[in-house]
Chains A and B, each alone.
Chain A
Amino acid sequence: QSVLTQSPSVSGTPGERVTISCSGSGSNIGSKSVTWYQHVAGKAPKLLLYSNNQRPSGVPDRFSGSRSGTSASLAITGLQSEDEADYYCATWDDSLNGWVFGGGSKLTV
């Protein structure tokens, strides 16, 4: 059972907009910024967003993030087949004194 809760799966068609949600509590999302990762099987996880909504160099602006209270969300616009992957939210948890991940959301395009 993950500390952060994500929907196991989400799907969309090319060009569509999808959102992936991540729910936590006051000791994690409620007090610390959220990170999002994209993970394609067999490859290293890729940092997608940090500090809730900041994109590292090279990440397209089709990817955006937000945080409100104890929840966060990742939005992907202009869905492409190459976006098919597992997406994880993560953040620091003050009660556990450690990083926690969501269970992951499998995006099917």
Chain B
Amino acid sequence: QLQLQESGPGLVKPSETLSLTCSVSSGSLFSTSYSWGWIRQPPGKGLEWIGTIMYSGSTYYNPSLKSGVTISADTSKNQFSLNLSSVTAADTAVYYCARHMPQRYCSGGTCYPTGSLDIWGQGTKVIVSS
């Protein structure tokens, strides 16, 4: 059974960059057209999609976070990462990584990761505080 595990610092100072890594237990990250995403849940609030990196390497980000977010992948390590720059207290949350099902929607030569997020990591809590 595929497993995902988030790792990274639990405490980040305001204005710094939050960096998390998701390790995928088996298989090859992009070998079977899977895409990989990051989601977060601030305290007392609901789930919020942060962004996704597709098997093609294309990335899609939440427009409300877009300017500060970067998702990348290291296929040699079977890992993908999240960088969120210039964080504030509002970025305090439990961060999850997850796999998208292979379904995608293609239009005009561009494909989008419309497959549901089916396998999730356990989540890692990140607090932004000085």
Contact = CB atoms under 8 A, between A and B. Distances in A.
B61 interface: yes
Contact of A92 (B61, B63, B96, B114): B114
Contacts of B37: 99
Contacts of B63: 96-98
Interface residues of B, number: 27
A35 B116 contact: yes
A86 B46 CA distance: 9
A90 B52 CA distance: 15
A9 to B, nearest CB: 13
Contacts of A51: 103, 116
Given A45-B47, A88-B47, A104-B47, A98 B123 contact: no
B87 interface: no
A97 B118 contact: no
Overall SS of chain B's interface? strand
A69 B110 CA distance: 25
A1 B3 CA distance: 32
A56 interface: yes
Given A45-B96, A97-B112, A98-B62, A50 B49 contact: no
Nearest to B37: A99
A32 B46 contact: no
Given A44-B123, A97-B60, A98-B61, A92 B105 contact: yes
Contacts of A39: 47
Nearest to A31: B105
Nearest to B61: A98
A50 B116 contact: yes
A34 to B, nearest CB: 9
B93 to A, nearest CB: 13
Interface in B74-130: 96, 101, 103, 105, 112-114, 116-123
Interface of A: 2, 32-33, 35, 37, 39, 43-47, 50-51, 56, 86, 88, 90, 92, 96-104
